[in-house]
A and B are shown apart, each in its own frame.
Chain A
């Protein structure tokens, strides 16, 4: 049971913020009980919505003095329950959404952590630049959330994930101290502390600002849609392309279940009977790109594609990407709830993992769709369920566990880009020894010695690791 916040502490915290910055009524707090991972829910006692680093620091000082844990939150679009409130106080950065400085010539931008991912690219579009990590939720998710979860996106195959694009951060430590790590220099000396914070899922403090690397927009794109009768053939094509030395901007796979949902949602012309489709995007200089597209087409055909289409114009390309990026949401047309997983396997093991997922789907009697970043072996099995049926919820959790176990057995890992959160916390011992985990805890203690920042995430509590996910509170029935 969480400890109750003393009314006097409440008053102290209120003093720091404007009235709209404090939410304390149960009905309103209820809305913050989960993020995009809706299997587990927990209502915070208090929500604080600061507008500046100074306010964050002042709030954390008070919490420090009273030894109160807190959970940071961005836009709440995370898929692993990273901001599930397992602490009495929630601190939301959504109001810290100013773009502070754009340095187009040196290709970097400084933003507050509540800035929405897509708004970064929008702000520098005029200068021909963009911010590369492009998670599917990019129209809503915040940079702070991306940093916490080390988010990826389709284009990480070529450009890397969030950690490859964060040059520096300003972080408020759990005792309220404001620290700057890294900076605007490309290659800082000393330990890579920014690297420690990116992907720490908010367990080291609250990132309030970040300096991000920008890239020049590719001169041109060629976006291909390859249609396969069999999902295995599609995975063979992925390996063939990457082995050939061509690195596309993205290689995405959508299987037949998800094809149904996106055709319905976006009126894309995809054959409903297809086993899988690949979206392959080449980007770069105009010179030679058509030749590359030709080679990819040949390879894909040789792997068994029944049809290959080239997006004729920007509108067709945009439609394909819309269908891909919003595929998760479109799944809402198939079932009331879904849990998206995020395992990784070596590219060459994709056929095997997909077969195992099919078996897992059968044994738990739940539909599982696949839409994922095939190029880097990052799979996203989507388990469909209905939260109103407690048995389905249990089976959904068990299916997720089996999928991750299978990934690890095939030489992969638990998370490509969604983070561990609470979703995969019990599977951490599948990949790490107790000594590994203890070392991580030691690193965390450098920043957060009392473990008050986002407790209950990433690192399993000793002794609790064997238990198969016990939801804190079941979905409201």
Chain B
């Protein structure tokens, strides 16, 4: 498991045109080169160059597929720089399925491009550790000691630049994370609520465990029945983004099996990145002889915490005075198309004032493991996001994905900002009276 997908699956060599076997060639022609995607693309917004824009990347893919262009360091560079935020899909009037195109292009790159030793080691580390919570937990032991001894700052100063970036992103130990108060007894006449499964993801289990727990508790308080999942694994997002399709499919099958077995009518995840991937299982396993139907079924059940909370009964009775803003996590907004529900939920909380964030749906640069593989662009986007957040003058910035949380929090910490970054689930816990989170970041 986890071996690089260089072992060829298409049965062909790296001859020009082989990309046609990988990328859905016809889909490339949905793009009519109108350019409406340009300003919706985070990398174009900063670099302002066509080849770092969605239509430019599609152009590159087309040229590769037509044999007009050879895979070289430049092309790989421009394809690597894409965050897969899918902001362009929201902007695109032609319905170009860009996410699907870039995912497959990455499979092609990984099969046909020899990366530098440094990149190979880095990608191997990400691929071998992140999807496995226990491995990550072990790896982080020393960091917990460092935090316990209060030496985080010293370590950040002493660490080599390449490592510092990784360390800065790690949240401090979170003993003081808010905890959603236990739900009052469900009235008998309410009947059994709709069954919901909370997919716990992989990295999130270790770095931001309170979010899954608070999601489950909030849902119970809103009248849902949360079903336990036994054997779910990483959703496969990291592999999909990094072109390791083989393992992504294996993960997908395992999750589909478990998610269909548990009997959940709705599926959520504290990581909206995972939700979007689960919602794409139907497409991903379309040609799977065994799992295609079940995958479609599972995908159709994906929703998010805020949509369910709004539809359920409200457990928020006490007033919690706070000024907040909301950052659209890419895969919730562009992937699942959920934008209004989280805002409506926040507005409905007694005492909470929602201030709109400028460029709320522009990627913060987290993008799975992107902030580790493309630190420069990731930092620039984080800075832009932090500028916009600071300009709102709020106490909290709320979001729906742990990756965004770590990314934006790290940037605000660097600036010494007092604004707290919180996952929606944790914030709901706080608003429901589940304890005050103090100075965690």
Q: Which residues of A contact B35 (CB under 8 A)?
A: 35-36, 75-77, 137, 140-141
**A36–B36 alpha-carbon span in the complex (Å):** 10
A57 within 8 A of B: no
B74 within 8 A of A: yes
B32 within 8 A of A: yes
- Bitwise interface map of B from 68 to 84 toward A, beta carbon under 8 Å scored 1, else 0: 11101011001000000
- Bitwise interface map of A from 312 to 337 toward B, beta carbon under 8 Å scored 1, else 0: 00000000000000111111110011
Nearest to B31 among chain A residues (CB) is A332
Nearest to B67 among chain A residues (CB) is A476
**A184–B31 alpha-carbon span in the complex (Å):** 41
Q: Among A21-29, A232-240, A433-441, which stretch is in contact with chain B?
A: A21-29
Q: Which residues of A contact B62 (CB under 8 A)?
A: 476
Given A31-B56, A328-B34, does the pair A140, B69 have CB atoms closer than 8 Å? no
- Bitwise interface map of A from 440 to 477 toward B, beta carbon under 8 Å scored 1, else 0: 00000000000000000000000000000000000011
Given A27-B63, A36-B35, does the pair A330, B94 have CB atoms closer than 8 Å? yes
Minimum Cβ distance to chain A for residue B41 (Å): 10
Minimum Cβ distance to chain B for residue A56 (Å): 15
- Bitwise interface map of A from 249 to 274 toward B, beta carbon under 8 Å scored 1, else 0: 00000000000000011100000000
**A137–B32 alpha-carbon span in the complex (Å):** 13
**A326–B72 alpha-carbon span in the complex (Å):** 35
A367 within 8 A of B: no
Q: Which residues, 51 to 94 on A, are CB-close (under 8 Å) to B?
A: 75-77, 94
The answer to whether A30 touches B68 (Cβ under 8 A) is yes
B50 within 8 A of A: yes
- Bitwise interface map of B from 46 to 61 toward A, beta carbon under 8 Å scored 1, else 0: 0111110000100110
The answer to whether B50 touches A95 (Cβ under 8 A) is no
A38 within 8 A of B: yes
Minimum Cβ distance to chain B for residue A95 (Å): 5
A131 within 8 A of B: no
The answer to whether A338 touches B63 (Cβ under 8 A) is no
The answer to whether A333 touches B30 (Cβ under 8 A) is yes
- Bitwise interface map of A from 28 to 44 toward B, beta carbon under 8 Å scored 1, else 0: 10111011101000000
Q: Which residues of B contact A213 (CB under 8 A)?
A: none
B91 within 8 A of A: yes
Q: Which residues, 79 to 136 on A, are CB-close (under 8 Å) to B?
A: 94-95, 97, 114, 116, 118
Nearest to B71 among chain A residues (CB) is A27
- Bitwise interface map of B from 21 to 37 toward A, beta carbon under 8 Å scored 1, else 0: 00000000111111111
Nearest to B38 among chain A residues (CB) is A140
Nearest to B32 among chain A residues (CB) is A332
The answer to whether A329 touches B34 (Cβ under 8 A) is yes
Binding site secondary structure of chain B: loop
- From A20, A27, A35, A326, contact of B47 by CB (8 A): A20
What number of B residues sit within 8 Å (CB to CB) of A? 36
Q: Which of B29, B35, B39, B96 is packed against the most chain A CB atoms within 10 Å? A: B35
Interface residues on A, range: 35 or more
Q: Which residues, 325 to 354 on A, are CB-close (under 8 Å) to B?
A: 326-333, 336-338
Q: Which residues, 350 to 408 on A, are CB-close (under 8 Å) to B?
A: 386, 388
The answer to whether B36 touches A95 (Cβ under 8 A) is no
B95 within 8 A of A: yes
Q: Which residues of B contact A326 (CB under 8 A)?
A: 36, 93
B300 within 8 A of A: no
Given A31-B59, A337-B32, does the pair A330, B93 have CB atoms closer than 8 Å? yes
Minimum Cβ distance to chain A for residue B409 (Å): 28
Minimum Cβ distance to chain A for residue B249 (Å): 29
Q: Which residues of A contact B59 (CB under 8 A)?
A: 30-31
Q: Which residues, 210 to 233 on B, are CB-close (under 8 Å) to A?
A: none
Q: Which of A32, A36, A140, A330 is packed against the most chain B CB atoms within 10 Å? A: A140
The answer to whether B93 touches A77 (Cβ under 8 A) is no
**A386–B30 alpha-carbon span in the complex (Å):** 11
The answer to whether A97 touches B69 (Cβ under 8 A) is no
Given A34-B33, A36-B35, A95-B48, does the pair A329, B63 have CB atoms closer than 8 Å? no
Q: Which residues of A contact B74 (CB under 8 A)?
A: 25, 27-28
Q: Which residues of B contact A477 (CB under 8 A)?
A: 66
Q: Which residues of B contact A221 (CB under 8 A)?
A: none
Nearest to B68 among chain A residues (CB) is A476
The answer to whether A49 touches B72 (Cβ under 8 A) is no
A139 within 8 A of B: yes
The answer to whether A38 touches B33 (Cβ under 8 A) is yes
Q: Which residues, 294 to 328 on A, are CB-close (under 8 Å) to B?
A: 326-328
**A28–B53 alpha-carbon span in the complex (Å):** 12
**A32–B92 alpha-carbon span in the complex (Å):** 20
- Bitwise interface map of B from 4 to 25 toward A, beta carbon under 8 Å scored 1, else 0: 0000000000000000000000
Nearest to A331 among chain B residues (CB) is B32
Q: Which residues of B contact A327 (CB under 8 A)?
A: 93
**A265–B30 alpha-carbon span in the complex (Å):** 12
The answer to whether B34 touches A77 (Cβ under 8 A) is yes
- From B29, B34, B36, B72, contact of A27 by CB (8 A): B72
Nearest to A118 among chain B residues (CB) is B39
Q: Which residues of B contact A386 (CB under 8 A)?
A: 29
The answer to whether B39 touches A116 (Cβ under 8 A) is yes
Q: Which residues of A contact B91 (CB under 8 A)?
A: 139
Nearest to A79 among chain B residues (CB) is B34
Minimum Cβ distance to chain A for residue B167 (Å): 29
Q: Which residues of B contact A75 (CB under 8 A)?
A: 35, 38
Nearest to A96 among chain B residues (CB) is B48
Nearest to A119 among chain B residues (CB) is B39
Q: Which of A77, A116, A388, A477 is packed against the most chain B CB atoms within 10 Å? A: A77
- From A23, A116, A338, contact of B32 by CB (8 A): A338
Given A36-B34, A137-B35, does the pair A28, B51 have CB atoms closer than 8 Å? yes
Q: Which 5 pairs of residues, A with B, have the shortest CB-CB distance?
A: A332-B94, A329-B93, A326-B93, A336-B29, A77-B35
Binding site for A on B (CB under 8 A): 29-40, 47-51, 56, 59-60, 62-63, 66, 68-70, 72, 74-75, 78, 91-96
* 8 A–B pairs (Cβ distance < 8 Å), ordered by A: A36-B35, A94-B48, A140-B39, A329-B32, A329-B93, A330-B94, A332-B94, A476-B66
Question: A38-B33, A76-B50, A332-B30 provided; 19 other pairs, C-beta below 8 A?
Answer: A23-B49, A27-B72, A27-B75, A30-B60, A30-B69, A35-B33, A75-B35, A75-B38, A77-B35, A97-B48, A114-B48, A139-B91, A140-B37, A140-B38, A326-B93, A330-B93, A330-B95, A332-B93, A336-B29
